[in-house]
Amino acid sequence: MRDTAVSRFARVPPVSLFAMTTDELETLLAQQPVALLHRLARGRVHRHFRAGKRRLIELLLQHSSQNRAGLESDLQTLIGERHSQSESGSSSVHHLPAITPKKASPRGTEPESAETAISLSGWLEGLGVPSPQPFVPDSWQNEALSALNETDVVISVPTGSGKTYVAVEAARRAMEDNRTVIYTSPLKALSNTKYTEFSRIFGPDTVGILTGDRQENGQAPLLIMTTEILRNLLYDAASGEIDVRLDTLGLVILDESQYLADPERGVVWEETIIFCPSQARLLLLSASIGNPQDIADWLTSIRSTVCRLVRHSKRTVPLRAGYLHPNGKLTPLFRTLGIPYGHPTHLHPETKRLFLEYEEETLPSGRPRR
Amino acid sequence: MPPSIHPVDLITALRQKHLTPAIVFLTSRRACDEAMETFDHADLVLPPARQEAIAVALERITVQHPSIAEHPLIPLVRRIGIAAHHAGHLPSWKIAIEELMRQGHLDAVFATTTLAAGVDFPARTVVITQSSIRKSRDFTDLTIGEVQQIAGRAGRRGKDHVGFAIVTPSPYIDLAVLTKGLTGQPEAINSQFTISYPMVLNLLKAHPHEQIQGILAKSFAQFQLNQRAELLEQKLDALHVQMEPFGPRVCTDWITQWHTFDHARRHRHMRHQTHRSESPEISARLPFLTPGRVVGLGRGRGIVLRQYRSKGQKNSMLTVLRPDSAVTECPVTGVKEVYDRTYDCAETPTYPWCSTDTFDRLSHQLEELPSHVPVLPILVSLGIEPLPDAIVQSLGDFPCPTCPSRPACQKDFATASRLRQEQQRHTKSIQALRTSLWHRFQERVEVLQQFGYLTPATQLTIDGEWARLIRIDHSLLITELIRAEAFTGADPSLLAGVLASLAHDDDRPGAFPRISPGLSSLLGQVRKLAESLSPYEDPPLLRADVAALVERWVADPTLTWIGLCRLTTMAEGDIYRLLARTLEFLSQVQTLKVTHPGLAESASQAITLIRRGVLEELP
Ligand SMILES: Nc1ncnc2c1ncn2[C@@H]1O[C@H](COP(=O)(O)OP(=O)(O)O)[C@@H](O)[C@H]1O
């Protein structure tokens, strides 16, 4: 089947490709393995991975009514690529038509660049345990802490950057000032972990935890609770029934603030922020999100001080991505050592080949697996 | 080749390349447990010294969390240095695994992606085996933020020079989702603000009605709505500029004038044909049968792609997208139901009457439409009659035919009218954006007034005063039950059972103990009330089986945790969560000490009875 497709190409000169009849195009598409169709469909067909082969072809044809040339040229590129991969170097490559994907394919797959891809050993290099270093706060951590003296702060940094250090230091400073601190997390399980961690750092008498039916050390200067519990406290305070000393409250730390976007519970973060007493500083800790400036601007618009945004998107420990084939073969996922930000298609050629093989084998009849 | 790598091979490969410790994210709890089972007979045993270290560490953790002492997984974890960590486990077990991981005793943990946010321990490597996760009942692609949250667990500061995220394929994977997730910018987050009944009561308790709009304006929701409104306002400004050439002419509002004239002119032309026009019911529907509207037809549902008139047909016709991407034509009379749901639809002048992207999207949206979609109420007004004859006859008196600016008006009308329509649309949208929260608040206020929690002057009534303390899901149902005295005389186990069935929102099937007659009849009452409240509040699942389970736990203090687990096929972690959620609900009822002392007392007894064994260990 593969051969038919190729020899068909061998006979048809490239120019006439852009003048295929719909029937011809359909036949050619039908001859391709479904994995190739999926690749062709990326960016063209919404949720293509759910469609079967028949349906995919239909959708591709429908789409091509708008950009026929683009589709045909991408198809040609993919067929050529497949062919040169499966018989790399062999003579049959020569009778393939010249492929010029850049010209006619607006979102075709990336051409293999001349630069060589990273090797596995290169990719694994540097793995290991760093020698112990004295603890020096990062500049963003210092920036956040000094900003907190004056204003509310929103922090949006990648997971694992060290938000806890800022929370702990900020809490320490507030308590040294004889102010109380509330720290909230979205999950009871996380509250428990933090309770243990903070008790270890500040001593068990300094830290308390509140749940709906229980208080442990409820009068401690540093209280841990879920955001829902704090919201309830704030409502009680607003209607004059105070349970916990909110007048001395100096700092409210909302961890995992990206929960603001949770469909069911996000509203609780909004209520908490809206009703947070104005004399208390707000510290929002969030994983990387797309619009942290919006959050900071929002806080500025409703609070008495100008909220400061501290953000960065660079991971402290660099990340490398790999691909592990079911047969146990490990390859780098991308062509570069690090993550090629902004270039999702810069796949390692070896990985590309292995994954293509995998898709073909697991989707033999074009039947979607879901 | 197997569809995905064998867990033993996976761990072997990771160990060989020094990529441990690793967190392996799998699709489901079952996948995690099955992965663990594959090690039962594998010959991957840790050296004795490491086994000993795990045992010692576990003993230390057991001091604080005695419930893990006899955990059946301990021997396996100790032997292979690998564990599973998912929501089916008790919190104390998860704490133990996290602690072992933090101390560096484990080589790998199998975890579920759903809990990526709750996994608070890092590793050198994360392994990703899927590109979508189950959210409520559907699988959705991981967002960029979620992929980065998962990858964020890789690489421990101070312990690793680099971290690794390794993708290994399974039939569930779309590689593009993951590569995009790893290389992209996380998505912007959007407000999910909703106005609940307790929110309204609490706001009105503390603030006078006229201040509320200002408070709602402080929400992130309003902040984002304002952003959109401001964008539209800029467009509106641009439109004003574009409209300048079309200002007043011989008549001030020549656009409307021309519109009326033009309409009447054409109408006269078609007058003799108006007999074929539809009944008032049908014509009232016409404005709603626009592209993107979901409709019910004789068989199944569809999405309207266009509405048109065809010469030979008596009625207006529709082109409708049907399941399996079929496109059919049918007369408007064939529409059985107009649903309160429309999707965006980029129209095109040729078949299939919308852009390909729209077509694909609509096809999927149609497939994924929930089985129940509310019907759109349509007012049938008999007043939408064709233009009165008087106007048509007086057409000769219309100024337009003789007006000096007629040629200019005729030429400009199309553009000017389109611009004006756009202006009107934007103005309306801006207004909606600025006031929608307030309207939603008012809707809630009206319901609360209807039920007697608020006075007509929006003060809290006696019932409103205590009802505002119930700040959980299904609050209206709970407060209505209390008012109906459904719980009067109910002992703690009945109360806990009912609240459990309200608190439990998981529909995972399972086998459960028998329910007592008392609880059964009480649940019947709850169900009836929930149904009658359904226009105002989504009814809960109200599973009798989970209610029975909690009832048993509260009613029988001699029942051990193991005994409780044996009564059901539910996982330990789920039972724990069920009881914890029930505690949350009970603790709210417990706050009604002043107004409902008996009920509050019953709730506080139930809390004490629930809090035993495993549930005693954590705050
Ligand atoms: N300035 C720093 N220098 C070295 N290590 C740090 C620094 N800040 C934080 N860490 C370490 O980084 C790790 C991750 O920090 P954590 O606060 O858990 O991350 P986050 O909460 O941002 O996900 C912790 O082990 C912490 O001790």
Q: What is the CATH number of the domain that holds A183?
A: 3.40.50.300
Side chain identity at residue A274, one-letter code: I
- A12-25 per-position pLDDT tens digit: 444 444 557 777 78
Task: Calculate Rg over the CA atoms of chain A.
Answer: 29
Ligand 1 closest atom vs CA A158:
22
Asked if B345 and B358 touch (Cβ cutoff 8 Å), the reply is yes
CATH number attached to the domain at B469-617: 1.10.3380.30
Q: Which residues pair with B108 in a beta bridge?
A: B22, B82
Helical segments of A179-315, H only: 188-202, 227-238, 266-275, 292-302
Of the candidates B168, B190, B364, which has its C-beta nearest A47's C-beta?
B364
φ, ψ (nearest 5 deg) of residue B41: -110, 0
Over pLDDT 70: what percentage of chain A?
Answer: 79
pTM of the entire structure?
0.76
Measured distance CA(B26)–CA(B30) in Å, rounded: 9
State the Rg of chain B over Cα.
32
Establish if A255 belongs to a structural domain: yes
Based on the domain organization, do A89 and A154 belong to the same domain? no
Q: Do B219 and A193 make contact, defined as CB atoms within 8 angstroms?
A: no
Task: Residue A47: give the domain boundaries.
Answer: 1-111
pLDDT at B28: 86
- A237 to chain B, closest Cα gap in Å: 9
> Does the residue A134 lie in any domain?
no
Closest-approach residue (CA) in chain A for B2: A326
DSSP character at residue A110: P
Q: Are residues A195 and A285 in the same domain?
A: yes
Residue of chain A whose alpha carbon sits nearest to that of B185: A290
Report the chain A residue with the minimal C-alpha distance to residue B350: A65
| Claim to verify: residue A297 and residue A326 sit in the same structural domain | no
Atom 9 of ligand 1, residue of closest alpha carbon: A162
Query: Is B428 within 8 Å of B436 (Cβ atoms)?
Result: no
Let me know: does B329 contact B319? Beta carbons within 8 Å.
yes
Q: Which of A63, A214, A333 sits opposite B356 (nearest CB)?
A: A63
Q: Give all strands (DSSP E) within B274-390, no chain letters.
A: 293-297, 301-309, 316-322, 326-331, 335-342
SS3 B142: coil
CATH of domain B276-368: 2.40.30.300
Mean pLDDT value across chain A:
82
**Would residue B205 be called left, alpha or beta, if left means φ above 0 and alpha means ψ between -120 and 50 degrees?**
alpha
- Residue B113 is classified by DSSP as G
pLDDT of residue A11 exceeding 50: no
Only one residue has tokens 């953000």, namely A311
* CA distance to partner chain A, nearest, from residue B49 (Å): 21
- Amino acid identity, position B489: G
Contact B186 A289 (CB under 8 A): yes
What is the block-wise mean pLDDT of chain B (619 residues), using blocks of 10 residues? 83 94 91 92 88 95 89 93 92 91 94 68 92 78 91 92 94 89 94 96 95 96 95 94 86 77 65 54 79 88 87 80 87 86 80 85 89 74 51 59 82 90 92 93 96 96 96 96 92 95 84 84 94 94 92 95 91 92 95 95 96 86
Distance B153 CA to ligand 1 centre (A): 12
Backbone angles phi, psi at B437, to 5 degrees: -60, -45
**CA–CA gap between residue A221 and residue A196 (Å, rounded):** 15
Q: Which helix (H) or strand (E) holds B434?
A: helix B406-451
pLDDT at A104 over 60: no
**Residue B25: strand pairing partners:** B111, B128
pLDDT for B326 equals 85
Residues of B in contact with A63 (CB under 8 A): 356, 360
A288 and A249 in one domain?
yes
User: In the block, which residue shows the tokens 């709890």?
Assistant: B29
Contact B167 A59 (CB under 8 A): no
Chain A residues whose beta carbon lies within 8 Å of the beta carbon of residue B172: 369-370
Ligand 1 centroid to residue A159 C-alpha, Å? 9
Angle B15-B20-B25 from CA coordinates, rounded to 5°: 110
Q: Which residues line ligand 1 (CB under 6 A)?
A: A 135-138, 141, 159-165; B 157-158
Long-range (24+ apart) CB contacts under 8 A made by B275-281 are B276/B314, B276/B315, B277/B386, B278/B315, B278/B316, B278/B332, B278/B333, B280/B380, B280/B381, B280/B382, B280/B384, B281/B380
d(CA B353, CA B359): 9
- Smallest Cβ distance to A130: which of B158, B163, B215? B158
Place of tokens 């529709």: B318
- The residue from A311, A337, A353 where one domain ends is A311
Residue A249 CB-half CA count within 13 A: 25
User: N- to C-terminal Cα distance for chain B?
Assistant: 49
Cross-sheet strand order for the sheet of B301-309: B326-331, B316-322, B301-309, B293-297, B335-342
Distance between B338 CA and the closest CA of chain A, angstroms:
27
Q: Which of B1, B174, B356 sits opposite A66 (nearest CB)?
A: B356
Where exactly does CATH 1.10.3380.30 map onto chain B?
469-617
Cα B161 to ligand 1 centre (Å)? 14
Q: How far is the centre of ligand 1, averaged over its atoms, from the C-alpha of A76 (Å)?
A: 49
Average pLDDT of span A242-267: 89
Q: Measure the CA–CA gap between B562 and B579, rounded to whole angstroms.
A: 15
- By CB atoms closer than 10 A (0-12, 13-18, 19+), residue A267 is buried
Alpha-carbon gap: A11 to the closest alpha carbon of chain B (Å): 32
Residue closest by Cα to atom 8 of ligand 1: A162
The reply to whether A58 and A165 lie within a common domain is no
| Calpha distance B562→B564 (Å, rounded) | 5
Q: Where would I find the beta strands (DSSP E) of B13-77?
A: 22-26
Contacts of B1 in chain A (CB under 8 A): 326-327, 358, 361
Distance CA B20, CA B107 (A): 5
Which of B157, B159, B160 for mutating ligand 1's site (highest number of atoms within 8 Å of CB)? B157
Same domain as A186, residue A258: yes
Sort out which chain B residues have CB atoms less than 8 A from A165's CB and list them: none
Nearest by CB: B192 against A189, A261, A358: A261
Among the partner residues B166, B183, B359, nearest to A342 by beta-carbon distance:
B183
With contact defined as beta carbons under 8 Å apart, do A251 and A174 qualify?
A: yes
CA dihedral A100, A106, A112, A116 (to 10 degrees): 130
What is the dihedral angle through the alpha carbons of B196, B201, B205, B207, rounded to the nearest 10 degrees? Answer: 50
CB-CB contact of A207 with B174 (8 Å): no
A207 and A182, same structural domain? yes
In terms of Cα–Cα distance, which of B136, B132, B141, B138 is closest to B112? B132
> Domain B7-183 is classified in which CATH homologous superfamily?
P-loop containing nucleotide triphosphate hydrolases (3.40.50.300)
Q: Are the beta carbons of A302 and B218 separated by less than 8 Å?
A: yes
Instruction: Choose among B83, B152, B156, B157: nearest CA to B117.
Output: B152
pLDDT the model gives residue B394: 56
If asked whether residues A241 and A289 sit together in one domain, one would say: yes
Task: Specify the domain boundaries for CATH 2.40.30.300 within chain B.
Answer: 276-368
> What pLDDT does residue B290 have?
83
Q: Do residue B17 and residue A124 have CB atoms under 8 angstroms apart? A: yes
Cβ neighbours of A47 in B, within 8 Å: 360, 364
- Shortest distance between the Cα of B377 and any Cα of chain A, in A, equals 27
Eight-state DSSP code of residue B501: H
**Prior bond to A318 cis, omega within 30?**
no
Partner A contacted by B171 (CB < 8 A): yes
CA terminus-to-terminus distance, chain A: 26
Neighbours of A353 (CB within 10 A): 17
Domain-located, residue A132? no
Among B169, B178, B166, smallest CA distance to B125 is for B166
B588 in reach of chain A (CB within 8 A): yes
Residues 6+ apart with CB under 8 A from A260: A266, A269, A270, A295, B189, B191, B192, B220
Same domain, A119 and A166: no
DSSP 3-state of B601: helix
The dihedrals phi and psi of B173, each to the nearest 5 degrees, come to -100, 140
Q: Chain A neighbours among B 8-27 (CB < 8 Å)?
A: 9-10, 12-13, 17-19
Helix (H, G, I), strand (E, B) or coil at B307: strand
Q: Do A93 and A146 fall into the same domain?
A: no
Structural domains of chain A, count: 3
A111 — pLDDT class (breaks 50, 70, 90):
very low
Closest chain A C-alpha to B287 CA, distance in angstroms: 29
CA neighbours closer than 13 Å in the CB half-sphere of residue B137:
7
Q: Which residue has its alpha carbon closest to ligand 1 atom 15?
A: A162
Q: Which atom of ligand 1 is nearest to the CA of A167?
A: 17
b (16+ CB within 10 A) / e for A169-207: bbbebbbeeebbbbbbbbbbbbbbbbbbebbeebeeebb
Q: Are residues A41 and A104 in the same domain?
A: yes
Distance from the B498 Cα atom to the nearest Cα atom in chain A, whole angstroms: 18
How far, in whole angstroms, is CA B452 from its chain's centroid?
29
pLDDT at B391: 55
Chain A partners of B364 at a C-beta cutoff of 8 Å? 46-47, 50
Test the B interface: residue of A267, A325, A350, A369 with most B CBs within 10 Å:
A267
Query: A259 with A266: CB under 8 angstroms?
Result: yes
| Residues forming beta bridges with residue B123, ordered by sequence position | B154
Please determine, for residue A155, whether its predicted confidence score (pLDDT) is greater than 60: yes
| Intervals of CATH 3.40.50.300 along chain B | 7-183
B495 part of contact set with chain A, CB < 8 Å: no
Instruction: Give me the total of CB pairs closer than 8 Å, taking one residue from chain A and one from chain B.
Output: 283
- CB burial string A111-130: b at 16+ within 10 A, e below: eeeeeebbeeeebbeebeee
Q: Are residues A221 and A121 both part of a single domain?
A: no
Among A242-251, A265-274, B148-157, name the one with the lowest average pLDDT. Answer: A242-251
Strands A180-185 and A215-216: unpaired
For testing the chain A interface, which of B120, B459, B612 should be mutated: the one with the most A CBs within 10 Å? B120
